[in-house]
Structure 1
């Protein structure tokens, strides 16, 4: 039992199943499916979290009907071909003492993908248009509704007969069950629409049908957004009324009678709604949002039910989870991204090894960001996530070699840590007095302070692995000759590069890196921020200035500001910039600056935009790789990260893992 987190590691009973602790990995799409089935990659992914000490693992959504295919890679539980996969993942999770549930899902109108790139086709209670994916759904017939309700029950039976311990009905984030309940989405006038009783009928029949199908010994839960947090979305009072009704449902006496078995065993509370950008930002809240912010929603639910309640909403650290449970705001803490970043987080917390936890920084880049690109999820800090079969367990060297790593940024730190863990003698040299590279600049941007945690985490990993870390140590030829390394990993990063533009009348033009590192004082007046990529830098600099009441124009060569940032994160950042008064110019590159005017060439045509009254121009341009000109003799040399080609932290850390793994397996 943990001395630091006693409430978090107190077992809890859901229905007739006891869970070993209060830590939950909630249902999240991994894109690790095997043609819509559970294969080896997905099994290995969840087994790693079970082995790492997680109490409850909830599988990603399983479609209950052919119309539930909201992406081209969704798991489907509509026939017995899915059974071997559920059985395999259940066995793997049970092997390590964890419990596993599966989500029962129908998206309704929340459909992302069409067949072979065509526009999505969707069904819903009514033909009300969906804003985010631009979907106009087909209104369901009564016959089709009954068929889908039956699909929930049959999928639940199939899944739990395969060894899965329970099922969770997904009524969160504006998906089909809650679409029926919402008067803004459901405009039907039959038995499934109109009055609150009719609008809740679909979900009530689903809940009752699932319980009847699986019997009293299988856990049945409900996932629901305590508040949709979007324009015209459901608010907490509406949701609480629905939960209170469902809480009283029992089998054998209709919907809501006093006899029979409880239909639901727990409630899983989250926030947000998939149908708008504003609401979707809460599906995987980024670092702009306070930790454990949705616990106020679960706290309200706990006041109206005696059943266990769990909550999601950026609970990234065990102390945040412990506090929410200890204060009675929730019974279980959903820490999904925390365990994408560190699958062993729960086990480390249980033995009070908090300094070893690789904390999630809420960047969303490789987890939900990958999902939205249709590729397997991972983590920028821990690229082994989603690649367990490729990189774990860590290889062990047969012959200890000397490895020199040049550069103490993310790429170099990861390479050094992995090589040292494998058993090599690793020396890392960093010319600056501190480790972290460009990550230390990123944390200077607004709402980006947590990003510096990546440098902290990677540095700690290298230190624990026994790397000989030498800061304030430029790599010279004499140092190279003296070390006589067998392998050299060059991770020397990149430097700022200014574009070739015309500058007249002594106009002030400064690079974004120089501005962030020097905190330069700018003259009074409008600042033109130009951005070549549409990433955090230009948008972050503009937002920092605007929040300091400086008039700002942000000109990006991308289609829109923040185009390279994960959607939920971008939504919040751009909203903040709009509120702060930033002016936006899209599809434009900087070509010149004179006394008080910036000149922007359209990337689409010959038009040139002029921005008047410019007192200073800050340029976020394409960086330039830096590779030392040294003779490494007979050593095997690998160049990685920005030194190879300037990109992001994700590629840098992944190439650090790749390079060190190849060193470990080299003969």
Structure 2
């Protein structure tokens, strides 16, 4: 989507209401687990800074991450925020005040994992609990069955969490009944095999969730907004069918003020956390909207489809557009959209490093394209004007070099960026070659270009840095990345091939490597109509990327007819594209003194895009 006037997307910027809660626009921040809370679930300054930045960025409503109503056995793995005791109200109140001071509203999401938990994550090393014993999830351990006499206590946990939400200044509560957690486990025929009044028919399977909703409504009163997040379908064998999900939405309608519509669970993660293409969940919200009269929130990489979403809201096909990972990538996406500055948005590239690399491994959520995520206060300080404006030279216009140039220029330095290739982007251009990530990588390159123009950075493309360049600047950053290593004579460097778009001659080609770039190279060659074999020296391929990206690329390679072989020696004949691990560039190695001249990015840190953007940002902050 290109630039548009500030008057575009008028429907998305209309005020809205969910119950008595008035909202400044139709943008909602989805609940995303960050691990920014304290070790024992208390609200931290890091968490407040994170939410404050998103509220300042223009979104109308923020829904907090999964907030635990049962810390003992029902918290998600790691350290989520919690609302299971009155002692946490003080921190929660500080959070709501910070968001309100920026003009946004905030709802808390009340959450219980049920079976989607591990025994090692419970306080007393107890099994997780579920409607039915033994049915595990993608990352859980076998649960025990919830006894009938335990159900009132579980219902009260949600109700007491809602009471604390009201007392802490939240504007609404959302019950997390989606993505395979406890409320959804009772609803799903896959996970609920009970034979009492809470199992069997849809009406019985819906009973627990409806009793929770009614208990919450009773404790917060008739005017306090209550929302419900539901997976309207579980698209796998035995899961909740769409028609039952729609019928359940109608059951909820009389008790709630809005429905937040998603699909799937962590056994169907490709549906739950879409990577490609955008918008694959929004049809669920539209289907629910046809059945109910309360407001409906749609999700699913929708910053890529704002024109379509504006039309959908204007037509009454849904009421609110939810932004999840997009808000990690750029907290100011809504404000920039309102101004018509679409090219200046860091648009989420959906490689799911945030989820699979960090969140699933119990670490603070990070973003490969936003170095400030989880470090908002430190990043704000880093962008302060420099005490002395300097002449800064940056060599290499990949992610590290572009990030460094932007930060240095923001701080008031006079910046020159030199790139030997005729275009910006570095390895982003290689990633953009295959259709899989072409739109995302092209958008990122465009973002860097327009930001460099906005800040007045002098960009010299197709140029080599000279000794005169180095001598005439006060600080020099070498962001020259990596180069191929161990490549046999006659082989083609995969990065060079993808960057230039020049496929080697011959119908048959072998890509040798166990890296992510090997998968991209094989996919791109297949798209050029070649017969491709992906030859990995290891037992797998894509070893340097996260599990979800690896699985998605493997699926695309299979669909493209690529033959993948593991445990292979390097080919000795034929067309060979080399995609093994790369080594640091040694350009101007003799000039490095770590004072005036420093190496940054993957040249010094190794790794991929995350390491490049982090290094570029923080190196420039030190000049």
Give the TM bin, normalised by the shorter chain: over 0.9
1:510 aligned partner: 492
2:575 aligned partner: 616
Deviation for aligned residue 1:574? 2.2
Deviation for aligned residue 1:299? 1.1
For 2:587, which of 612, 624, 628 is the aligned residue? 628
- Partner deviation per Cα, 1:20-56 (whole Å, 9 max, x = no partner): 1001111110111111121100000010011111100
For 2:279, which of 292, 301, 308 is the aligned residue? 292
Provide the TM-score with structure 1 as the length reference: 0.87
Is the CA contact (8 Å cut-off) linking 1:24 and 1:332 kept in structure 2?
Answer: yes
2-structure distance, mates of 1:203, 1:2: 42
Is the CA contact (8 Å cut-off) linking 1:111 and 1:120 kept in structure 2?
Answer: no
Deviation for aligned residue 1:414? 0.6
- Greater Rg by CA: 1
Is the CA contact (8 Å cut-off) linking 2:428 and 2:445 kept in structure 1?
Answer: yes
1:309 aligned partner: 296
1:265 aligned partner: 257
For 1:457, which of 440, 447, 453 is the aligned residue? 447
2-structure distance, mates of 1:161, 1:117: 27
Structure 1 residues 411 and 320 mapped into 2: Cα distance closer, same or farther (>3 Å)?
farther
- Partner deviation per Cα, 1:174-221 (whole Å, 9 max, x = no partner): 111111111221111011111222111110111101111111232100
Is the CA contact (8 Å cut-off) linking 2:108 and 2:174 kept in structure 1?
Answer: yes
For 2:394, which of 397, 401, 405 is the aligned residue? 405
Structure 1 residues 358 and 189 mapped into 2: Cα distance closer, same or farther (>3 Å)?
same
Deviation for aligned residue 1:549? 6.4
Is the CA contact (8 Å cut-off) linking 1:271 and 1:313 kept in structure 2?
Answer: no
Task: For structure 2, list consecutive stretches of 5 or more residues without a partner in the other structure.
Answer: none
Q: What does 1:99-248 align with in structure 2 at a 5 Å threshold? A: 99-111=105-117, 114-115=120-121, 121-133=127-139, 135-248=141-254
RMSD, aligned CA: 2.4
2-structure distance, mates of 1:167, 1:458: 38
Structure 1 residues 374 and 240 mapped into 2: Cα distance closer, same or farther (>3 Å)?
same
Is the CA contact (8 Å cut-off) linking 1:295 and 1:329 kept in structure 2?
Answer: no
Q: What does 1:223-622 align with in structure 2 at a 5 Å threshold? A: 223-248=229-254, 263-274=255-266, 276=267, 279-286=268-275, 288-289=276-277, 291-317=278-304, 318-366=306-354, 369-393=357-381, 394-449=383-438, 450-481=440-471, 483=472, 485-499=473-487, 509-516=491-498, 517-525=500-508, 527-533=509-515, 535=516, 537-546=517-526, 550-586=530-566, 588=567, 590=569, 592-595=570-573, 615-622=574-581
2-structure distance, mates of 1:72, 1:635: 40
2-structure distance, mates of 1:210, 1:566: 39
Which segment is superposed worse, 161-170 or 222-231? 222-231
Structure 1 residues 539 and 488 mapped into 2: Cα distance closer, same or farther (>3 Å)?
same
Task: For structure 1, list consecutive stretches of 5 or more residues without a partner in the other structure.
Answer: 249-262, 596-614
Give the paired residue count.
612
2-structure distance, mates of 1:94, 1:296: 32
Deviation for aligned residue 1:112? 5.4
Name the structure with the higher helix share.
2
Structure 1 residues 470 and 116 mapped into 2: Cα distance closer, same or farther (>3 Å)?
farther
Deviation for aligned residue 1:511? 2.9
